[in-house]
Amino acid sequence: MSTPAPANAPTADGILRQHAEIQFAEELAALAEADDKAKPPNWMLSPWAVRTYLLGGKLANGFVVQPKYIGNGRLIEIAVATLATDRALLLLGVPGTAKSWVSEHLSAAVSGDSTLLVQGTAGTDESAMRYGWNYAQLLAEGPSERALVPSPIMVAMRAGKIARVEELTRIPSDTQDTLITILSEKTLPIPELAGEAQARKGFNVIATANNRDKGVNDLSSALLRRFNAVVLPVPDKFDEEVEIVSRRVAELGRALELPAEKPALEEIRRVVTIFRELRDGVTADGKTKLKSPSGTLSTAEAISVVNGGLAYAGYYGDGVMHAGDLAAGLTGAVIKDPVQDKIVWLEYLKTVVRERDGWKDLYRACMEVVD
């Protein structure tokens, strides 16, 4: 679930972030060359090669492919198999579980193009999913193919490529449902031109959505039925998560030029422990069950708590992060619902934190903030 640095990064001058297919062009080329297995129509690589591209591996000619996704390889296999059977793929997970990252690399490997992207927001309308019009042209000529502005999805249909829809559940429900026709009939009617855009082989949709984010637009069952859902989990192992948090914190700290010292690993471990325990609803030793708060408590939030603590220690404290600097951030991260989450947090503090050896400082600091 980390995003390792590429072996080769041909950065064009001034571009902050390259598309996957450009950044990893060499790997894709090597894979294509070594790939001797059957490819589904319009795929750049065979499903086996796509799998290797995402999970990493060594090719027959000795070329080493970097892993793009570190975690359960079986999930990637399900994703690839889904695309190969022509079903749309829905990647679910809490924020920070590499959904978009996986989606980008899958499209890069399958279609060689990860740019056909619709970013889902509350303001995404039908023209972003279907097509819009160039109004000057429309007024001058009336409805015509030239006046039509195709959406990324329409482009993908015509080219037989993969279209990506990010944050599908943030899109209003009526706009979401535009996808139903596209996914089941594989065509997009254009009544203004009395025609339609028919998808070529190789067209598919990868959507990502947050499965903890309640209160946004749930998918209708008609739409959900057209997707195969793969849930990307939060980091499996404690040490893996600590590693991700420390690395990101170090990077961010440098970028923001925080005056505090590098955080002690011990504090990070405590934050990660608290996050994992509350998220899993059970203490690390597996002995005590806990209530889980309503928030997601993702790794990304753990990073921001530590970062906040660092900033606090740097600007208002003695420059070294202590429990007191973390307490406010921790409490804020856990208590998202002022009534229920407060109960959860208090219970956790009183039954777990208080009893733990060497955690008294954290207990006192947090109780001060909560009460």
Judged by the rule CB under 8 A, the positions of this chain that interact with another protein are 47-48, 51, 74, 77-78, 80-82, 84-85, 87, 90, 92, 211, 221, 224-225, 227-231, 281, 288-291, 339, 343, 346-347, 350-351
Q: From the CB of 123, what's the least distance to another protein, in Å?
A: 27
CB closer to another protein out of 269 and 364:
364
Q: From the CB of 1, what's the least distance to another protein, in Å?
A: 17
Q: From the CB of 161, what's the least distance to another protein, in Å?
A: 20
Cα 362 to Cα 344: distance, rounded to the nearest angstrom: 16
Q: From the CB of 127, what's the least distance to another protein, in Å?
A: 28
Q: From the CB of 230, what's the least distance to another protein, in Å?
A: 6
In a 3-state reduction of DSSP, which class is residue 19? coil
Residue 86 · residue 237 · CB < 8 Å: no
CB closer to another protein out of 90 and 116:
90
Q: How many alpha carbons lie under 13 Å from residue 148 in its C-beta half-sphere?
A: 19
Q: How far is CA 199 from the centre of its chain?
A: 27
Question: Which amino acid does the sequence have at 172?
Answer: P
CB closer to another protein out of 17 and 289:
289
In a 3-state reduction of DSSP, which class is residue 24? coil
Cα 162 to Cα 81: distance, rounded to the nearest angstrom: 14
CB closer to another protein out of 84 and 284:
84
CB closer to another protein out of 266 and 285:
285
DSSP string spanning 199-249?
PPTT-EEEEEEESS-TTS-PPPHHHHTTEEEEEPPSPSSHHHHHHHHHHHH
Cα 305 to Cα 335: distance, rounded to the nearest angstrom: 13
